[in-house]
Amino acid sequence: MNTDFDPNYPPHVERIFTIVIPPKQAAVRLDVYLTEVLPNATRSKVQDAIEAGAVTVNGLPAKVSRKIQPADVIECRLMKPPPLELVPENIPLDIRYEDENLLVIYKPAGMVVHPGFGNRYGTLVNALLWHFGQREAIPLLEQHDGDEDDDNHHDEESNQADEYTLLASDAVRPGIVHRLDKDTSGILVVAKDAVSHARLAKQFAERTAKRQYYALVWGIVKDDAGVIEGDLGRSPRDRKKMAVVQKGGKHAITEYAVLERFQSCTLLVLKLRTGRTHQIRVHCAHIKHPLVGDEDYGGGSVVYAGNSGQWKSLGERLLKQIPRQALHAKTLGFTHPATGKWLEFDSELPMDFQAALAEARKG
């Protein structure tokens, strides 16, 4: 019996894609064409499949450099993870408010909001399905298939409609209005119906909702307050990460204010003027103050130690207290989509964040 089986990574199954090249298609390389037309394909994986003999053109093995022609029939036999399905799970939720239109939840660090490849179970959506009374698994549409090593992150504005479409049915009611990263803790709101979702999503898109984050960043932030601007896009070095880019990015603005300064780090309160993927994490790293514990964006080791081994030792103790990015969605406010009343929720810092602050104050 294999005790190493992880249900989040089930065995791959063979998927067959048949493509007939349309008339007037330009004569491009086979690998280039397949990368463009296959869902979630990458150039390297397409090339590996061709070289392994998993791709034929008109029934014959083909080379990567072969130029396709109109009426060619391409067959690709690829090993892919099985399609996703939404599985209700009896996972306890920390609900701070609930009525017939919405609920406000405190999400702990370590919980993924939405199912995906590599996170099929244990997500907030799995828990919400159970909370709303769903008991049967619900297959997802083929078009939502993804790549197992793709984090499928996008900015909030482009994802809101797609996510609600994904979850909207008579059996599936939760509408995720906004996301928090897996290792970011804090408050978020979930809509129970399409009208509430649309009205809440509009507030987030127009920035009339109030969101404040606390972050512990490396180094001493000099200005008491400021604004960080920089277009965000996929990192040219690592497609799973975001970066401030010169071309092809989306405009992003983050406001910050200093709450407390320590010997090797600073506690900030931040407000988003835009809602891009990893915005706070990337912007803080861009100004050379990455979040404490943020492995992806340069904060996973002691960034600021001055000239003293004492402060380096303090930084190492900080990292032991919070084994994730020190980011918490502390405050959330919005207009109720049905009553029109303003609701505002404040959340306590989690224990690991408090422990890191206590360690910093010792210094």
My answer on whether 219 and 311 are in the same domain is yes
User: Does the structure show a pLDDT above 60 at 349?
Assistant: yes
Residue 100 CB burial class (10 angstroms; 0-12, 13-18, ≥19): exposed
Q: What percent of the chain has pLDDT over 90?
A: 58
My answer on whether 199 and 235 are in the same domain is no
Average of per-residue pLDDT across 28-43 = 86
Most confident of 25-34, 83-92, 112-121: 25-34
| Domain boundaries, position 323 | 213-329+354-362
Tokens of 293: 């514990």
Query: Is 115:86 a contact under the CB 8 Å cutoff?
Result: yes
CATH of the domain at 294: 3.30.2350.10
pLDDT band at 337 (very low <50, low <70, confident <90, very high): very high
Q: pTM of the entire structure?
A: 0.76
Please list, residue by residue across 177-215, b when 16 or more beta carbons sit within 10 angstroms of its beta carbon and e when fewer do.
bbbbbbbbbbbbbbbbbeebbbbbbebbeeeebebbbbb
* Structural domain count, the chain: 3
Domain boundary among 206, 231, 254: 206
Residue 9: its pLDDT value, please? 66
My answer on whether 63 and 194 are in the same domain is no
Tokens of 282: 């990337």
Any catalytic annotation for residue 181? Answer: yes
Residue 301: its pLDDT value, please? 87
pLDDT, tens digit, 9 for 90 and up, residues 249-293? 999 999 999 999 998 899 999 999 988 989 999 999 999 999 999
Running DSSP on this structure, what letter comes out for residue 234?
A: E
My answer on whether 128 and 181 are in the same domain is yes
pLDDT, tens digit, 9 for 90 and up, residues 130-166? 998 888 888 765 443 333 333 334 444 334 334 444 4
pLDDT, tens digit, 9 for 90 and up, residues 126-135? 999 999 888 8
123 lies in some domain: yes
Query: Is 183:324 a contact under the CB 8 Å cutoff?
Result: yes
Residue with tokens 């506690």: 267
CA dihedral (78, 81, 82, 86) positive or negative: negative
pLDDT band at 4 (very low <50, low <70, confident <90, very high): low
My answer on whether 229 and 358 are in the same domain is yes
User: Does the structure show a pLDDT above 90 at 84?
Assistant: no
My answer on whether 358 and 231 are in the same domain is yes
Average of per-residue pLDDT across 236-244 = 86
Catalytic residue among 151, 181, 183, 296: 181
